[in-house]
Chain A
Amino acid sequence: GENVEQHPSTLSVQEGDSAVIKCTYSDSASNYFPWYKQELGKRPQLIIDIRSNVGEKKDQRIAVTLNKTAKHFSLHITETQPEDSAVYFCAASPFPYGGSQGNLIFGKGTKLSVKP
């Protein structure tokens, strides 16, 4: 089955700097890679996702890149702000979900702290 490794586990940056979080996956059949942001005590919220037929996707200050050959994908946050402070999770799965295909497997999370 799929295994997702996420690094670093904690990341501290100054406001305005960039932050990069990296994930690796094991199953070459995985074709969907979402990123979630979770604030303390709240639900994880989908912030960006990418399919395997795309190498990069941007949405304002956040971007995700995918290297299928190396089986890794990364989240990039530019011009960080204090409200970006949260735990970020990556995930990977073949899609459609379920049965022998499996379901989303999550990394263990990165706690991002943005210092004013």
Chain B
Amino acid sequence: DGGITQSPKYLFRKEGQNVTLSCEQNLNHDAMYWYRQDPGQGLRLIYYSQIVNDFQKGDIAEGYSVSREKKESFPLTVTSAQKNPTAFYLCASTVGEKLFFGSGTQLSVL
């Protein structure tokens, strides 16, 4: 959906470094999500937030952190504790039951 903007499109992480992926939406959606996609795999939920200042762990939250200080923004930090961070990261928001995705960030390790 054009209303969900992810940046950057490509990101490189050095060993031991924390990196932050940006996700902004102008759709006035309450709920936002972060998914990780690995080649040949489905999408796995990292974190989600249903309202401002509240977020919940998904299935693979270890090594990641999030914040939700504004309704429009849900940044994801990939910490140095995430030992295998190379993946395609997708931010999403919902209207009703329908989930719409941003354009994604490809994170690679240098």
Contact = CB atoms under 8 A, between A and B. Distances in A.
Interface stretch (B19-27, B61-69, B75-83, B100-108): B100-108
A115 B94 CA distance: 35
A106 B42 contact: yes
Contact of A97 (B31, B43, B102): B31
Interface in B4-55: 31, 33, 40-45, 48, 50
A89 interface: yes
B42 A44 contact: no
Nearest to A45: B101
Interface size band for B:
20 to 34
3 pairs of A and B residues whose beta carbons are closest in the complex: A106-B42, A43-B101, A106-B43
Contacts of A89: 42-43
A7 interface: no
A98 B48 contact: yes
A47 to B, nearest CB: 11
B108 to A, nearest CB: 14
A64 to B, nearest CB: 14
B45 A108 contact: no
A84 B42 CA distance: 19
Nearest to B44: A106
Given A43-B90, A89-B42, A103-B58, A49 B98 contact: yes
B31 A44 contact: no
Given A32-B97, A45-B101, A97-B94, 17 more contacts: A34-B99, A43-B90, A43-B101, A43-B104, A44-B43, A91-B99, A97-B48, A99-B56, A103-B33, A103-B45, A103-B48, A106-B43, A107-B42, A108-B41, A109-B40, A109-B41, A109-B42
Interface in A92-107: 93, 95-99, 103-107
A55 B55 CA distance: 34
Given A108-B40, A108-B41, A43 B103 contact: yes
A61 interface: no
Contacts of B104: 42-43
A6 B103 CA distance: 24
